[in-house]
């Protein structure tokens, strides 16, 4: 009897997992199928039918070319790299100073960063837009870069958290050997912050790659399109050509999938460490 109950429980457990996986994968899977279908085939077969020819890359060619997705990737990569590097440099610098030096105003600065976490970026966009405009960086890549760098307070928290676990005696013994504060930051603090840095890279990277709002609002120029906005442009004119849109979706997803498969372990760590704080 006990055994039977155990078996049923186990069966239900796996059933629920298989069902959940089906629900998670299926919406993406059908898009994948459609991306290989010819337009005639797309019209005549249902979404669940497999494509006849898995090597029909025509839709991908069209999506990539007509959607100018290479430009999207280049812009995304540029913005992502510059703002992530910038955010990490600025974040580690602020946290180093705030954690290691106590000075007049250090409490105030800490509080300023703290309160800023309470302000969700999306609520202040209307006014931020005016400021970006005034600074003359509207419709430049710089707009997105400074916004990603400037509003990043979460990374400061992650760095502060890690810094408090690095013993101050390390700094002190380096000082005995005559190292400057700059050297201490570069040669001791930065290397020891590596796990925190990888966490921030992952969280920021995912956030920037997937962000739609910032580029959509601040960089409407066609030449500045990123992956999100490139994809969004398919909406109107391709309304009836779902097979091309589907190829574009898959093109946008591929980098995410690759990074996920390669860095799975770090991604899990990054998110649990970053979100719980």
Partner 1 sequence: MFKFSRLSYKKQRKVIILLFLLVPIVLLITFSYWPLEKMFVYSFYKWNGFSKHKEFIGLNNYIKIFTEPKYFSVFKVSLYYLVGSFIQMPLALYFATILSFKIRGKNFFKGVIFFPYLLNGVAVGFIFLYFFKPDGTLDTLLGALGLNQLIQKWIGNPDIVNFSLAGSSVWRYIGFSFLTFLGAIQSIPSDIYEAAEIDGAGRWAQFRYIIFPSIKRIVELNFILSIKGAISVFEVPYIMTQGANGTKTFVIQTVDAAFKYSKFGLGSAMAVILLIIVVIASLIQNFIFKDREM
195-234 binders of partner 1 (CB under 8 A)? 206, 209-213, 217, 227-229, 231-232, 234
Please write down the long-range contacts of 11-18, taking CB distance under 8 Å and 24 or more positions apart: none
Dist. CA 233–CA 4, nearest whole Å: 56
Question: Interface with partner 1 includes 266 (CB under 8 A)?
Answer: no
Residue 94 as a binder of partner 1 (CB under 8 A): the answer is yes
Query: Looking at 44-52, 55-63, 159-167, 191-199, which segment touches partner 1 (CB under 8 A)?
Result: 44-52
- Say how many residues touch partner 1, by CB under 8 A: 89
Question: Using CB under 8 A, which of 52, 53, 164, 256 touches partner 1?
Answer: 256
CB of 211 to partner 1, least distance (A): 8
Contact status: 11 vs partner 1 (CB under 8 A)? no
**Residue 161 binding partner 1, by CB under 8 A:** no
Rounded Cα gap, residues 214 and 148, in angstroms: 9
User: At a CB cut-off of 8 Å and minimum separation 6, what does 223 contact?
Assistant: 71
Q: Does 3 bind partner 1 (CB under 8 A)?
A: no
181 binds partner 1 (CB under 8 A): yes
CB 181 within 8 A of CB 99: no
Nearest in space to 46 (alpha carbons), one of 242, 274, 208, 248:
242
Q: Does the footprint of partner 1 cover residue 249 (CB under 8 A)?
A: yes
Provide the minimum distance between the beta carbon of 39 and partner 1 in the complex, in angstroms, as a whole number.
Answer: 15
CA gap 13, 20 in Å, rounded:
11
């Amino acid at each position: 009897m006990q055994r039977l109950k155990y078996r049923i429980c186990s069966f239900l457990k796996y059933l629920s997992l298989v069902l959940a996986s089906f629900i998670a994968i299926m919406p993406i899977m059908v898009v994948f199928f459609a991306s290989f279908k010819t337009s005639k085939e797309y019209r005549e077969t249902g979404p669940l039918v497999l494509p006849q020819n898995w090597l029909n890359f025509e839709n991908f060619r069209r999506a990539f070319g007509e959607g100018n997705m290479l430009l999207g990737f280049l812009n995304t990569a540029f913005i992502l790299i510059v703002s992530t590097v910038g955010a990490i440099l600025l974040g580690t610098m602020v946290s180093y100073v705030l954690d290691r030096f106590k000075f007049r105003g250090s409490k105030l600065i800490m509080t300023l960063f703290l309160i800023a976490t309470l302000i969700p970026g999306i609520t202040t966009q209307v006014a931020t837009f005016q400021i970006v405009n005034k600074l003359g960086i509207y419709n430049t890549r710089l707009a997105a870069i400074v916004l990603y760098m400037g509003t990043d307070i979460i990374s400061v928290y992650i760095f502060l958290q890690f810094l408090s676990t690095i013993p101050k005696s390390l700094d002190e013994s380096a000082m005995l050997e005559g190292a400057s504060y700059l050297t201490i930051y570069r040669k001791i603090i930065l290397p020891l912050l590596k796990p925190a840095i990888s966490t921030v890279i992952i969280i920021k990277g995912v956030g920037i790659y997937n962000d739609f709002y910032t580029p959509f609002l601040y960089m409407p120029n066609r030449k500045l399109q990123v992956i999100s906005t490139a994809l969004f442009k398919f909406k109107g004119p391709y309304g009836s050509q779902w097979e091309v849109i589907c190829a574009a979706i898959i093109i946008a997803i591929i980098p995410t999938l690759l990074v996920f498969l390669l860095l799975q372990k770090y991604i899990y760590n990054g998110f649990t460490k970053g979100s719980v704080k």
